[in-house]
Structure 1
């Protein structure tokens, strides 16, 4: 089914009606593959499509003139690169592939027509942007006020929760394809310090680590340590609003 990752993400919070699923599927879109470490979008690039992650991981980033990089957030299957193309034609940041994968390139007029025809889907797409803004606010607090240990613990729990939503994580385990340098660039740390803190979390009994995976041994204790409260995902508010929009 086309756009199944996006449908899975939206369907996690509320049962989409058959008409809503059909409208999403009919968007179609071209599938474009990417390879790990390739630059999918460059800052300043002319944009002509709404891009939705199909599979794999990617990351939004901005780079300073001296080469220092800040990863803004991580993109998982079902994430929309951004809806900015509906009102602007130029990317204001870059997107780099973390793994091999692919995305859908959707026609902006087709997306506009779909949103104009369905209040439920308009609300759902609006919610994805509200949630992304919430992730960015948490990123600001994380990097601005939390310790290195709190930052890393918080990020790991957030990624685990997000991966669960799109069926990319099971139980207390998370496939984590990010390198320690990418984690460092996300959290404003050095790779060396990131490595030390990850080993500290292992010694403290919060997590186990393997090659590209994390297992949470005591997620509640880790959440308490780093003040991770998933209420910023706004799940209940989304369910309530969609429920109010549907006929009784």
Structure 2
């Protein structure tokens, strides 16, 4: 099935049955492949599909008139985006590929019909959006109140945990395709400062880096340093709520 990453993510929030999987397969989507460093969506563009990342990484961003860019968040396999197509015709931000990306494009009418249901699949789908809002709130806190070292450590741990959810990372390593410029644009830093902080994290024994890979040498100490508490992922709350049948 083309929606493996999405299913892996949804299964954190609900026990999907054969009927749920059949409903996902019946959405009637198509696969679209996009090369690295290409815009999938441009702000102001009319939208005609709900998109799901199958493979690869992408980034939501907005650009100021003088060319400065703020990356709003990173999109990983299993992430659903551009739900605004269900209520509005135009995109209010842009999305660019970080790596080569494979997308699953879903027709809005089919998604609307699915969301009108009341089953576990619909609830799990909405919880993914609640979680994305939580990620955006953490992004505000990171960039508004944390030091550069705290911001980078926190982002790395968040991306590692998110990648684990969809089976894209192991216990202590993360393939990290973001460039230092992209990390800087995500965290409101300069590329030079980002490079210095990454080297400091290596020097202080928190991580080691090798090409596009990061290995966490002491994830607990890194989490303590940057005040990373994964409770904002709400994974335990999702499972407890589903067990109660609410």
Which residue of structure 1 lines up, in the alignment, with residue 196 of structure 2?
196
After the TM superposition, which residues 61-140 of structure 1 pair with which residues of structure 2 at under 5 Å, given as runs? 61-140=61-140
CA deviation digits over 1:100-122, x for unaligned, max 9? 02101101111111222343222
Q: Please tell me the root mean square deviation across aligned C-alpha atoms, in Å.
A: 1.1
CA contact (8 A) 1:2 1:28 kept: no
CA contact (8 A) 1:20 1:118 kept: no
Instruction: Give the deviation of 1:182 after TM superposition.
Output: 0.1
Give the Cα–Cα distance (whole angstroms) in 1 for the partners of residues 117 and 15 of structure 2.
Answer: 18
Return 189-198 or 110-119, whichever deviates more.
110-119
Which residue of structure 2 lines up, in the alignment, with residue 5 of structure 1?
5
Q: Normalised by the size of structure 2, how large is the TM-score? A: 0.97
Give the Cα–Cα distance (whole angstroms) in 1 for the partners of residues 83 and 39 of structure 2.
Answer: 19
Which residue of structure 1 lines up, in the alignment, with residue 167 of structure 2?
167
Which residue of structure 2 lines up, in the alignment, with residue 54 of structure 1?
54
After the TM superposition, which residues 202-217 of structure 1 pair with which residues of structure 2 at under 5 Å, given as runs? 202-217=202-217
Instruction: Give the deviation of 1:13 after TM superposition.
Output: 3.8
CA contact (8 A) 1:207 1:217 kept: yes
CA deviation digits over 1:162-221, x for unaligned, max 9? 000000001200000000000000000000000000000000000000111100000000
Q: Normalised by the size of structure 1, how large is the TM-score? A: 0.96
CA contact (8 A) 1:48 1:85 kept: yes
SS in 2 for 1:88: coil
Give the Cα–Cα distance (whole angstroms) in 1 for the partners of residues 89 and 161 of structure 2.
Answer: 32
SS in 1 for 2:11: helix
Instruction: Give the deviation of 1:2 after TM superposition.
Output: 2.5
Instruction: Give the deviation of 1:240 after TM superposition.
Output: 2.1
Give the Cα–Cα distance (whole angstroms) in 2 for the partners of residues 195 and 43 of structure 1.
Answer: 30
SS in 2 for 1:12: coil
CA contact (8 A) 1:3 1:28 kept: no
Return 121-130 or 38-47, whichever deviates more.
121-130
Return 32-41 or 6-15, whichever deviates more.
6-15
Which residue of structure 2 lines up, in the alignment, with residue 227 of structure 1?
227
CA contact (8 A) 2:14 2:121 kept: no
Return 139-148 or 25-34, whichever deviates more.
25-34
In structure 1, runs of 5+ residues without a counterpart are none
Return 209-218 or 26-35, whichever deviates more.
26-35
Which residue of structure 1 lines up, in the alignment, with residue 23 of structure 2?
23
CA contact (8 A) 1:120 1:245 kept: no
**Count of residues in Structure 1 that have an aligned counterpart in Structure 2:** 246
Give the Cα–Cα distance (whole angstroms) in 1 for the partners of residues 149 and 184 of structure 2.
Answer: 12
Give the Cα–Cα distance (whole angstroms) in 2 for the partners of residues 160 and 34 of structure 1.
Answer: 24
SS in 1 for 2:78: coil
SS in 2 for 1:193: helix
Return 164-173 or 120-129, whichever deviates more.
120-129
Instruction: Give the deviation of 1:126 after TM superposition.
Output: 1.2
CA deviation digits over 1:68-125, x for unaligned, max 9? 0000000000001131111111100000000002101101111111222343222111
CA contact (8 A) 1:205 1:218 kept: yes
SS in 1 for 2:54: strand
